[in-house]
Each structure stands twice: as structure tokens, then as C-alpha cells.
Amino acid sequence: MFDTLSTKLNTVLGGLRSRGRLDEETIAKALREIRLALLEADVNLDVVKDFTAAVRERALGQEVLESLTPGQQVVKIVHDELTRIMGGGDSRLAFAGRPPTVVLLVGLQGSGKTTAAAKLALMTRKEGRTPLLVAADLQRPAAIAQLEQLGRQLGVPVSSAERSDPVAAARAGVERARSQGLDVVVVDTAGRHQIDSDLMAELGRIRDEVKPHNVLLVLDAMTGQQAVEVATAFLDQVAFDGIVLTKLDGDARGGAALSVRAATGRPIKLASLGEKLDQLEVFHPDRMASRILGMGDVLTLIEKAEAAASEEDQAELEARLRAGELTFDDFLTSYRMMRRMGPLKGVISMIPGLGKQFQDVDVDEREVARIEAIILSMTPDERRRPEIIDGSRRVRIANGSGTAVQQVNHLLNSRKQMQKLMKQLGTGKMPALSPELLARGGLAPAGGSAPAVTLRTRKRRRR
């Protein structure tokens, strides 16, 4: 959702980076462009004024004007201020010293509370906790059924016996967790409008009854400027502790993420980056600022890689790659690991310096399924020893995978190129990364239709 803002900020800051000297006029012109970019991204006007004033004050200081790299100093200042308005450091959930920890989710109708509740339950379970989902949304007819379905999908118990009183439903859920030794209770409440005084008062009664350790406002990142009004209204009525931003993978302009923390003083604790139930992350303001400015996000990339495969699998694959040994079993393992890390374009954007090159590129990830089909159509011996795959075998593999022989040939050539690349990396001869190099390595097509991940620009196909 930050693509447009990121492009505009990088255009402005790119011009500053190349300058050997900065004066007040140059900085003022850059700030005007930055102000326009933020306003077009739906960032709250007061937040924009505060941000540009802080950048101007620091950018006109002697440290920048007399620096040997003034452009880089200004970029750092913009990064620091973006981090500041989004909250500075990350803010995590508070857990009770004596379980269960109660998390109360509140928000507008349609903000994604029920799905966020399931995602949060999954996140806590991955951390070694035992969650319970509580259905306290008795307004929406399908809410309880939806939460029960999500609970079955995750293997997480759902408390849904009480169907008439949401306060009693929340209380029953906490009592069940306490009696069964479950240590996290996630309460899903009914969506409401901030002007509905009765429903807002009901939230207050639920809070007084279950005494939650965390009250989280689930906020749709697509709401733009309205996000500040919604957050302010809920803050007055419910006094929430933090924010869960949903739909950050959408095509909104990003104003909510840059506005709500500064407007409410409450931190963004979690961010939902996709529809899958495992796509909920702790929100790191500094990492998000780096992504917006095209600097990558190495720490998140490492965390995703660690979550995608065990240490033993990573070490074994790394050893084989360093030795220049790349079988199709390794190829398939690495592709599946990358898919578990999330959308490929998002993974690429976290690599410093590489995300900018793919900023205007659409990634067709359906092609990855074709790679799997081709590899799985090979015999175990063919996957271990690709050199034995002759013409007749290629025809059989193409027929078995529903692809063309040309696509099988391309995958075979991609493996050779990737193996060559791995040998170079193993000897310390690191080639410059580029879309063309990734194409030769199998991440993009090189010279024709391919079963690899296809990268298409908005104007023309990249070859």
C-alpha cells in the first residue's frame, strides 16, 4: 500500500543524495514535494505539518549543511522522523504474570476483527501459548459461525455457548480459559459505529467485566483520513491500549499507518499483511520506514526465513549451495521456503537496494505452481541427477506437468545458472544483483515463456 508514497519520496530524496552541497532553497523545495506526497497518501494534515517542521529544523542544522554527505544526512532525518510519527520502537502485547491474558478486540463493522482474532490466536500459539477464542459478537448473524470455522481450521477452541448477552459471553470465555488452563483469551466483539452510544457503552461493560490486559482497536488501513476520527472516537469511549492495522496489503495510500499513532498517542502493535491466517506481524516503525524509503528490511527478512524452515534445513541447504550442489530437490525446497515467507514481491522488497528495481513490477506467483508441477513430474533419480534428463525424458516431464518442453528446458537451464551463481557466492565472488541476474537464476524469465516466476512491468514485459 506504500508503493506510490515510496516512489514519490524516493524520487525527491534521490535528487538530494546526488548533491554535494545543500542550501536552504533546495531543502525547502524538497520539503514541498515531500509534503505533497504525504498529503496525497492521505496522511492527516496536522501530522504532515509536524513531520515537515521537524525535518526542516533538523535539515537546516549545521550538522547537515556542513556534512560531506548532506543528501544522505537528510535521508536519515526523513527516516528518523517517519519512524517517530509511527511510534519510535515496537510495542508488543502485555502478558499477565498469572494467566489467562485477556485481549479484547474492538472496532468498526467490517474492519476485520473476527479474522484478526483468529490470526492473533495463531500467533500466540506459535509462541508456545494456549489460546481460546471467545465469540462475543452477537450482532452479526454469521459472526459466531465464522469464528467457529476459523477455530476448527486452526485447531483452537472457541467459547460460543452464550448467545444472548455479550458481557456474559466474554465472562464465560475467561472462566473457561481459567478452568481449562488456557493462557490467552482473545475476545471478538461486535462491530459498531463510533456515534452509537449504546454499543460503545456495551464495550465499556465488557471491559469492566473481564478486565482485559490488552484492548486493541482493529483499524482498516484502507480508511485513510477517516482512520484518525475513528481512532479518536474509540479512544474517548474505550481507552484502547494499541492498534491492529488490517489490510496493509491493499492498494490504499497508507495514510492511516502514518497518522493514527501521532493523533492518538497509542502505538500500532500489530499489522495484518494479507488474507492468510499466518500473515499477522508485530509492527516495527523503523522497519516500516525503511521499506517506505526503499532501504529494505533485513531483520524482518531474516525472521521470515527462520520461521519458514528449521535451522537444520537451512544449514543443510546452505552447505549444499555453498558447495555448488543444486539438485531439483534443493530447488523445490528453496522455492517452498520462499513461498512460506509470504508474497514474493514483498520478500524482494525487503532486500536492500533490490526492492527499488522491482517497484513497478507485477509478480505472477501462479507460475511457481508450474515449477512445482514440473519438478514433481520428475523421478527421484532425475531430481537428484538432472544431467540424466535427455530429450525423451523432457517430453515425459512436460506431458506429466501439463507444460511445454520449452518450459522444462528453461527450468533445466535456470538450475544450471543458479548453480553457477551459488558457486560464485561460495568463493566470495558476489555478482551484482539485478532483475536480469535473477532471470538467469530462475526467478524471472530470460528470453521467452518460462515456468519460473514471471515479472511483468506495467508497460512492457521484462525480458
| Residue 90 within any structural domain of the chain | no
What dihedral do alpha carbons 147, 150, 154, 155 form, nearest 10°?
50
- Buried (b) or exposed (e) across 254-263, using 16+ Cβ within 10 A? bbbbbbbbbb
Shared-domain flag, residues 233 and 326: no
pLDDT at position 404: 92
- Provide the number of structural domains found in the chain: 3
Q: How far apart are CA 200 and CA 108, in angstroms?
A: 11
| Residue 326 within any structural domain of the chain | yes
User: What is the DSSP track for 192-232?
Assistant: --TT-HHHHHHHHHHHHHH--SEEEEEEEGGGTTHHHHHHH
Shared-domain flag, residues 148 and 17: no
User: What is the DSSP track for 362-373?
Assistant: EEETHHHHHHHH
> How does residue 324 score in pLDDT terms, banded at 50, 70 and 90?
low
Q: How far apart are CA 201 and CA 300, in angstroms?
A: 39
DSSP 3-state of 185: strand
pLDDT at position 223: 74
Shared-domain flag, residues 281 and 307: no
DSSP assignment letter at 358? G
C-beta neighbour count of 53 within 10 angstroms: 12
| Percentage of residues in the chain having pLDDT higher than 90 | 27
Q: Which of 27, 57, 85 is the last residue before a domain boundary?
A: 85
Shared-domain flag, residues 192 and 63: no
Residue 160's nearest CA partner among 177, 142, 172, 178 is 172
pLDDT at position 301: 56
Residues belonging to the chain: 463
Shared-domain flag, residues 112 and 78: no
pLDDT at position 251: 58
Q: pLDDT: is 363 or 128 the higher one?
A: 128
pLDDT tens, position by position, 188-226 = 998 876 567 788 888 889 999 999 999 999 988 777 677
Global pTM value: 0.67
Identify the CATH number of the domain in which residue 154 sits: 3.40.50.300
Backbone φ, ψ for residue 365 (5° rounding): -80, -5
Shared-domain flag, residues 369 and 247: no
Q: Which of 254, 275, 292 is the last residue before a domain boundary?
A: 292
Shared-domain flag, residues 121 and 18: no
Shared-domain flag, residues 248 and 356: no
pLDDT at position 218: 92
Q: How far apart are CA 437 and CA 446, in angstroms?
A: 9
Calculate the alpha carbon distances from 396 to 231, 390, 442 in Å.
Answer: 59, 10, 22
| Residue 93 within any structural domain of the chain | no
**Which range is least confidently modeled, 268-272, 293-297, 383-387, 395-399?**
293-297
Cell, residue 39: 498529503
pLDDT at position 105: 95
Question: How big is the CA angle at 309 (ends 303 and 315), to the nearest 5 degrees?
Answer: 100
| Three-class SS of 93-120 | CCCCCCCCEEEEEEECCCCCHHHHHHHH
Cis amide linkage into residue 70, ω under 30° from 0:
no
pLDDT tens, position by position, 39-57 = 888 888 888 899 899 988 8
Is 388's pLDDT higher than 80?
Answer: yes
Q: Which of 85, 111, 131 is the last residue before a domain boundary?
A: 85
| Residue 94 within any structural domain of the chain | no
Shared-domain flag, residues 309 and 429: yes
Shared-domain flag, residues 274 and 401: no
- Please tell me which of 146-155, 243-252, 326-335 the model is most confident about, judged by mean pLDDT: 146-155
Q: pLDDT: is 186 or 356 the higher one?
A: 186
| Residue 206 within any structural domain of the chain | yes
> How does residue 438 score in pLDDT terms, banded at 50, 70 and 90?
very low
Shared-domain flag, residues 204 and 339: no
Shared-domain flag, residues 377 and 443: yes
Identify the CATH number of the domain in which residue 7 sits: 1.20.120.140
Q: Which parts of 265-327 fold into alpha helices (H)?
A: 285-292, 298-308, 311-322
DSSP 3-state of 300: helix
CB 104 within 8 A of CB 206: yes
pLDDT tens, position by position, 82-132 = 888 888 777 888 899 899 999 999 998 888 899 999 999 999 999 999 999
CB 136 within 8 A of CB 173: yes
| Residue 462 within any structural domain of the chain | no
CB 224 within 8 A of CB 245: no
pLDDT at position 300: 59
- Structural domain of 436: 300-457
Pairing of strands 242-246, 184-189: unpaired
